[in-house]
Amino acid sequence: MFNSLFSNGLPPGSYEKFMETGNLSFLYQPDWFDLTILIIYFGVLSLLSLYGLRRYYYLHLFRKYKHVRIKPQAHFDELPMVTVQLPMYNEMYVGPRLLNAVCQMEYPKDRLHIQVLDDSTDETTEIMSGAVKYWVDRGYMVEYVHRTNRHGYKAGALENGLKTAKGDIVAIFDADFIPHSDFLQRTVHHFTNPEVGIVQTRWAHLNQDYSLLTRCQSILLDGHFMMESLPRSRGGLFVNFNGTAGLWRRQAIEAAGGWHHETITEDLDLSLRAQLKGWKFVYLPEIECPAELPVEMNAFKNQQNRWAKGSTQVCLKLFTTLMKAGLPRPVKTELFFHLTANFTYPLMVLLSLILLPAIIIRFHQGLAEMLLLDLPIFVASTLSVALFYIHSQKALYPDWKERVRLLPMVMALGIGLTVTNGKAVMEALLGIRSSFVRTPKYHVMNRTDNWFRKKYRGKLGIYPVLEIALGVYFCWITLYCLTIGNLGVFPFLLLFIVGYFYTGFSSLFHNLLKFPFVDLGWRRLRAMFN
């Protein structure tokens, strides 16, 4: 058969080469379609690898500075007046808890001014009014500020609150946080340095053991605070304020131009403008501020969507200004990667869509060529992610070895978010405006707490269906790879399958839990395994 095949004008010696190698890949000649797919495929992988390589730089800085602790320049002889701003919108479940924690801080009453900045349209207004009255009657300086519109959303509420703020130092806490009683005593003295404009502390997690979703979220956030914020701050790079669990010098806010409304990540926007003006950023990872993690998939996706879109909006707004500023090259390089990091989400969606034709074409090139090209890309991207989160867990938890077993699931969850986050980035690039969608919290602390029939859910939309469709698509790709004997890509494909199915089906299921019969059945099922 092969004698007749190779007699029809094929290159001399082809038969001998086939008998030696056992395959016909050396006869493969790519056409224009194949070349286009390969150019896109390797272009996307190369861009993703650049961001993966950046993580090795963070690892270098982390190892260099992980034991460095920043001490206050001095201590105030007389503590300054501090205004604590508590912005909230329809937070009836967690708002009173936050106010109680703030009022129990170890700080003189006459030096502590508290503002409840409530834009609520539900029962929260009545609940928070009563909570404010309770503490006012006990001698606390608590001001209740209720707006009848949400102009500017959170940024607008903070800006409006500054009109009556009594303190030169402003602390900000979102409704789902519970600061420790010594929070102000451990942070405020850093403002004895007149150059310090911002102090940020590390988020901790009240309910990280509630579910698989909350455990994965805790690892993702730990990675950000330990492997991004710490290296950036200690390495003299720009750091982003995280919107809560931190303090501002009022003068720094005003000098940077105040809170702006045109993006939905007002915290990142203002912190970059302040640092551009020369204000110093102090990050204190040793000080924890516990917060409640979203327990519902749609709420979590809405939160990630908001962060991705808002960060892209800030990139479009400030990128040129920052790149033209007289900043050191390392600072500009880091700002480039920081502000453009969310562009990886639409790139991941594109990679998902072209993966099947790319695998077919690459298979014809031969296994050796695939390993030669793909192995360096794997080391640059996937391995860097694993090291990134392993180091963060090792730095924070004695049981880090147990926790890092979830890393494959964390990576799969990141892949599952590419659809909604990719959509968010594209909306920002196209100038599509959207409202500030809050992340609903339900006062869930323990595994036995039930949120299923409480008010508010994250937006569902059509995206869970698209995620499930991508999961099916990757099952098809996996079956094809098994058929042709390409087993090396199986672990990689499994991450895509698990990620897309997990986010898609969880979104649908969590939305169904608002129905009593689904709620009851799920609680009984969980009780069987607890």
In sequence order, which residues have a C-beta less than 8 Å from that of residue 28 and are 6 or more positions away? 364, 365
Considering only CA atoms, which of 438, 228, 251, 242 is closest in space to residue 338? Answer: 228
Residue type, 96: P
Q: Encode burial over 13-22: b for 16+ CB neighbours within 10 A, e otherwise.
A: eeeebbeeee
Let me know if 118 is a catalytic residue.
no
Active-site entry in 34, 119, 222, 269 = 119
Sheet of 112-118: strand order equals 141-146, 112-118, 82-88, 169-172, 246-249, 196-205, 280-291
Q: Does residue 106 register a pLDDT over 50? A: yes
pLDDT tier at 365 (50, 70, 90 boundaries)? Answer: low
The string of pLDDT tens digits covering residues 397-428 is: 999 999 999 999 999 999 999 999 999 999 99
More confident residue, 529 or 47: 47
Q: Which two tokens stand for residue 70?
A: 């920043």
The string of pLDDT tens digits covering residues 179-208 is: 999 999 999 999 999 999 999 999 999 999
Considering only CA atoms, which of 342, 350, 341, 269 is closest in space to residue 308? Answer: 342
Q: Which two tokens stand for residue 73?
A: 């320049």
Looking at residue 27, its pLDDT comes to 45
More confident residue, 319 or 45: 319
Considering only CA atoms, which of 420, 414, 390, 413 is closest in space to residue 403? Answer: 390
Looking at residue 143, its pLDDT comes to 97
Q: Does residue 471 register a pLDDT over 60? A: yes
Active-site entry in 34, 222, 267, 269 = 267
Q: Which two tokens stand for residue 308?
A: 């991705």
Question: Distance from CA of residue 137 to its chain's centroid?
Answer: 40
pLDDT tier at 383 (50, 70, 90 boundaries)? Answer: confident
pLDDT tier at 453 (50, 70, 90 boundaries)? Answer: confident
Asked if residues 131 and 96 have their Cβ atoms less than 8 Å apart, the reply is: yes
Looking at residue 378, its pLDDT comes to 65
The string of pLDDT tens digits covering residues 217-239 is: 999 999 999 999 999 999 999 99
Q: What is the share, in percent, of the chain residues with pLDDT greater than 70?
A: 88
Let me know if 119 is a catalytic residue.
yes
Looking at every residue in the chain, the average pLDDT score rounds to 89
Q: Which of 17-21, 99-103, 245-249 has the lowest mean pLDDT?
A: 17-21
The string of pLDDT tens digits covering residues 16-36 is: 444 454 444 544 566 778 888
Looking at residue 521, its pLDDT comes to 58
Looking up tokens 């993580």, which residue turns up? 55
Looking at residue 335, its pLDDT comes to 96
Long-range CB contacts for residues 407-410, cutoff 8 Å, separation at least 24: 407/219, 408/495, 408/498, 409/212, 409/216, 409/498, 409/502, 410/216, 410/219, 410/220
pTM over 0.75: yes
pLDDT tier at 452 (50, 70, 90 boundaries)? Answer: confident
Question: Distance from CA of residue 262 to its chain's centroid?
Answer: 20
The string of pLDDT tens digits covering residues 270-303 is: 999 999 999 999 999 999 999 999 999 999 999 9
452 three-state secondary structure: coil
Looking at residue 367, its pLDDT comes to 56
